[in-house]
Amino acid sequence: MSAIPDPVAAAVAATVARHRQDPHYILQMLREIQEACDWIAPEAIDRLQQALGLPRTKVEGVAGFYSFLYTKPRGRYRVLFSDNITDRMLGNMELLRRMCEQLWIERGKTSEDGLVSVDTTSCTGMCDQGPALLVNNYAITRVDAPRVDAICELIRAQVELAAWPREYFRVDDQVRRKDVLLGAALAPGEALAAGCARGAEALLAELKLSKLRGRGGAGFSTGLKWEACRNAAGSEHYVVCNADEGEPGTFKDRVLLSAHADLVFEGMSLCALALGARRGMLYLRGEYRYMLDQLNAVLERRRQAGLLGIGILGREGFDFDIEIHLGAGAYICGEESALIESLEGKRGTPRNRPPFPVTHGYLDQPTVVNNVETFAASCLVALRGGAWYAGIGTSASAGTKILSVSGDCARPGLYEYPYGVSVSEVLAACGAVDVQAVQVSGPSGVCLAAGEFGRRIAFEDIPTAGAFMVFDQRRDMFAVARNFVHFFAHESCGFCTPCRVGTSLLRNLMDKLNNGHGSPYDFAEIEKLNRILQAMSHCGLGHSACNPVLDTIAKFRPAYERRLQQKEFEPAFDLDWALEPARQMTGRDDAGAHIGSVEKS
Amino acid sequence: MSASFTIDGKAVPFAEGQTIIQAALAAGVYIPHLCHHPEFKPHGSCKLCTVRISGRQSASCTTLAQAGMAVESDTPALNDERRTLTQMLFVEGNHFCPSCEKSGNCKLQATAYDLGMMTAHFDHFFPSRPVDASHPDVLLDFNRCILCSLCVRASRDVDGKNAFALSGRGIKTHLIVNAKSGRLADTDVTLQDKAVRVCPVGVFLRKDRGFNVPIGRRVFDLKPVSAYVDATAALAKE
């Protein structure tokens, strides 16, 4: 045997041991191997497969699904520019080009010396302090030209990430308006003690009384969900916190977890009390990797304080603990059944429903999946009672909602309001002027034009998962919709035909319009695809992939009509454009190398 | 077996736990489908079998039959949408029917004919999908793959080999084989495997045999796919 230590073997052995050889942790293992070795080499898959006794197809199927796992070398430094529309508005593409030029590389390709790659990624949740990027999955905010230049220097000098200036990695909470949730300064254990004093039955009664509804967007009654899960038969019950905050423009969970992690974990513990659950999992999006260690530290502190573990708060039989699973770049895992698949170490494909997670969730057992904000809010109910909570907000939408405000405004950040707040109130508070449109709840939500700013944030009017992106009169709403369509095409899981192919066809049509080949025919095609996506798709991603297009067509039609430069149909194919690779290969760009100029001459 | 529901007005009996398409095919009512196979658990990915129930559309292969439900299936609107899905499958891969050994025995082709698909309609994606000719008995032509997962399911659930899986995501989803080299020759797949014989299109081709039945006399040359109700048995004899 060779005496040279094999870093791949060591990395695989370490991660397999850390996760007790449990194949359900395969995504965590792959992620840790990637962190240790910069990519997942075939030898790593060999070793992992052998250690876990899994077929190779299973490991490769999972590794191939997640954007942040690489089965081909992508460099020691992997730079991903966040590509939400808010990053675009702050000039991210110019910064990306600058970095590529300085590093002498092409976007999406690894440098020849294997040192670095630069590409884009879906919104990283730093919209209020963008443009943002990730280096080896660690977030860097407020990127500008000098920062790009400095980063290029650090990469060229091969400085370890840990030695980069801390300032680059600074993530501010930017809480602009606090209400009952962000303003609640609860001591760790306070709400849990109140919940224990009430007991499981009474806690559920208070939750139902509170009319608390899920904050992830769908708005299902939290009390009913917990009760249905409690009543469902199973060998174990599970509590899952959905912190896969992937909807572009949303970043409230990031702040809740960085500033109020105790509240979130405490809400999960209350849920465990209600269900009789012993295990909880928090699924943290891969873009928030930087928070993993601090969150684990909070969990450890809570264990030391008797708020997690065996006999919580001295109550015999109240045994509950929480572990954190990190995602790896897949928006679809925010869908609760896809999230459960991912937790089980599978590809993040949404399940056929019914059955729903409350009866058949993690490992087919009864499982509550709630949003970060929902768990946090449940603490307030446990402490102050359902009647008090139901008195906040509107009759159909109790409590408060945290909005993640970004885009064209003076004061981006978090705004917590009681439900029922009007869009114009929020716009005034964040210092937005000359507003053309607001995209509420991200690309899968709704785009509002100026005439609708009197509408209210509430389940009965505009439900939202929290994103609130502001566009002033300078912005081109077609470009906004096109960015969102690209997002959906990139994030489609590929399971069902309409979404897998339809989102790509929609992207191609939007690009065709953008490239000046659009005609009224293409417009009709877009509307036809929208119908198919809505009617035939497997899950919410496909159903909502056309929302931004439908909304902007309805409300900002001139932005599209400017693109319909042709009266008659013309193909998307452009012969001159198709010659570009040949021009690049031959290093030519003279008149003779262009179709149009040859015809003219 | 007393409970029943209707499909386009026709009464269809069903047993507890049957999906709409299972009950329909058993009763001789055809619903277009590609990823569904009577011997395998419901999958629900191709969405060709989508039907309308009380104004809502859902895949009939994953929706349980319920007494009294009124299912619409053979309607111009649904068939238009199914035709569009079929066109999507055609442009996503590389399907050259005239030169394909499976022509006439291919469910995708037969379904397209049956739905009156005259052109691919959308711009072709022309993906690059190299064939795998490494195996002595089986040629793998990924160009025709429609990602129905039947070979994946057959290999896992029947053959017990896990020889196939889907990897990638979105439009980059693709079939992989269980070998470090990525070559079929380096797997334990044999001609006898269910996985090799379950493909509704032409990804799996026997090497030692071609055009045994001449074009014109193949399963779907004789009658359209809808006339078979469930063509699986007829294809299995080929």
Q: What is the CATH number of the domain that holds B173?
A: 3.30.70.20
Per-residue pLDDT reduced to its tens digit, A435-459: 999 999 999 999 999 999 999 999 9
In a domain, B82, yes or no: no
pLDDT at A3: 59
Residues of B in contact with A573 (CB under 8 A): 123
Task: Kindly report whether the peptide bond that precedes residue A131 is cis, defined as omega within 30 degrees of 0.
Answer: yes
Domain co-membership, B59 together with B130: no
Domain co-membership, B118 together with B230: yes
Taking the C-alpha atoms of residue B145 and residue A497, their distance in angstroms, rounded to an integer, is 12
- The CA dihedral of A46, A337, B57, B173, to the nearest 10 degrees, is -20
pLDDT at A599: 47
| B52: nearest CA partner in chain A | A535
Mean local confidence (pLDDT), B140-148 = 97
* CA distance, residue B58 to nearest chain A CA (Å): 7
Domain co-membership, B12 together with B102: no
pLDDT at B237: 74
Whether A326 has a pLDDT exceeding 70, the answer reads: yes
Per-residue pLDDT reduced to its tens digit, B167-215: 999 999 999 999 999 999 999 999 999 999 999 999 999 998 888 899 9
Residue B53, domain extent: 4-74
Q: How many domains does the structure of chain B reveal?
A: 2
Domain co-membership, B164 together with B108: yes
In a domain, B28, yes or no: yes
More confident residue, A185 or A148: A148
Task: Provide φ and ψ at B42, rounded to 5°.
Answer: -55, 140
Domain co-membership, B38 together with B136: no
Q: Is A391 helix (H, G, I), strand (E, B) or coil?
A: coil
Domain co-membership, B117 together with B68: no
pLDDT at A598: 47
Which of the four pLDDT bands, split at 50, 70 and 90, describes residue B52? very high
Give the other-Cβ count within 10 Å of A359's Cβ. Answer: 17
In a domain, B81, yes or no: no
Q: Report the share of chain B in percent with pLDDT over 90.
A: 92
Per-residue pLDDT reduced to its tens digit, A467-520: 999 999 999 999 999 999 999 999 999 999 999 999 999 999 999 999 888 888
Residues of B in contact with A572 (CB under 8 A): 123
| B80: nearest CA partner in chain A | A532
* CATH numbers and ranges of domains, chain A: 6-65 (no CATH), 77-172 (3.40.30.10), 176-390 (3.40.50.11540), 400-475 (3.10.20.600), 478-561 (1.20.1440.230), 575-601 (no CATH)
Q: Are A369 and A353 in contact (CB under 8 A)?
A: no
Judged by CB atoms closer than 8 Å, whether chains meet at B170 and A528 is answered as no
Domain co-membership, B159 together with B220: yes
Which of the four pLDDT bands, split at 50, 70 and 90, describes residue B103? very high
Tell me the residues of chain B between 175 and 204 that have a Cβ less than 8 Å away from chain A. Answer: 176-180
Average pLDDT over chain A reads 95
Domain co-membership, B113 together with B45: no
Q: What value of ipTM does the predicted structure carry?
A: 0.97
Q: Report the share of chain A in percent with pLDDT over 90.
A: 87
Sequence-ordered list of residues with C-beta below 8 angstroms from that of A580, at least 6 positions apart, any chain: none
* Facing residue for B81 by CB, picked from A67, A501, A536: A536
Per-residue pLDDT reduced to its tens digit, B65-96: 999 999 999 999 999 999 999 999 999 999 99
Q: How many angstroms separate the Cα of A524 from the Cα of each of A330, A566, B87?
A: 31, 14, 17
Taking the C-alpha atoms of residue A459 and residue A218, their distance in angstroms, rounded to an integer, is 9
In a domain, B83, yes or no: no
Domain co-membership, B35 together with B117: no
Structure tokens that stand for A365 in this block: 């057992």
Which of the four pLDDT bands, split at 50, 70 and 90, describes residue A4? low
Judged by CB atoms closer than 8 Å, whether chains meet at B171 and A500 is answered as yes
Judged by CB atoms closer than 8 Å, whether chains meet at B57 and A536 is answered as yes
**What burial class does residue A233 get, using C-beta atoms within 10 Å of its C-beta: 0-12 exposed, 13-18 middle, 19+ buried?**
exposed
Mutation target vs B (from A69, A364, A500; most B CBs, 10 A cutoff): A500
In a domain, B91, yes or no: no
Domain co-membership, B158 together with B110: yes
pLDDT at A319: 98
Residues of A in contact with B176 (CB under 8 A): 57, 60-61, 64
Q: Are A432 and A408 in contact (CB under 8 A)?
A: yes
* CA distance, residue A173 to nearest chain B CA (Å): 33
More confident residue, A291 or A2: A291
Mutation target vs A (from B47, B94, B174; most A CBs, 10 A cutoff): B47
In a domain, B87, yes or no: no
In a domain, B146, yes or no: yes
Q: Residue B51's domain is classified under what CATH number?
A: 3.10.20.740
pLDDT at A253: 98
Domain co-membership, B118 together with B61: no
Nearest of A104, A27, A94, A38 to residue A62 by alpha carbon:
A27
Q: Report the share of chain A in percent with pLDDT over 70.
A: 98
pTM: 0.95
Mean local confidence (pLDDT), A92-106 = 97
Mean local confidence (pLDDT), A262-269 = 98
Asked if A67 is an interface residue toward chain B (Cβ–Cβ < 8 A), one would say: yes
In a domain, B60, yes or no: yes
Judged by CB atoms closer than 8 Å, whether chains meet at A504 and B172 is answered as no
More confident residue, A595 or A411: A411
Whether A597 has a pLDDT exceeding 60, the answer reads: no
Whether B137 has a pLDDT exceeding 60, the answer reads: yes
Taking the C-alpha atoms of residue B6 and residue A211, their distance in angstroms, rounded to an integer, is 39
A339's enclosing H/E stretch is helix A336-343
Task: Kindly report whether the peptide bond that precedes residue A350 is cis, defined as omega within 30 degrees of 0.
Answer: no
Taking the C-alpha atoms of residue A12 and residue A21, their distance in angstroms, rounded to an integer, is 11
Domain co-membership, B165 together with B211: yes
Which of the four pLDDT bands, split at 50, 70 and 90, describes residue B234? confident
| B149: nearest CA partner in chain A | A495
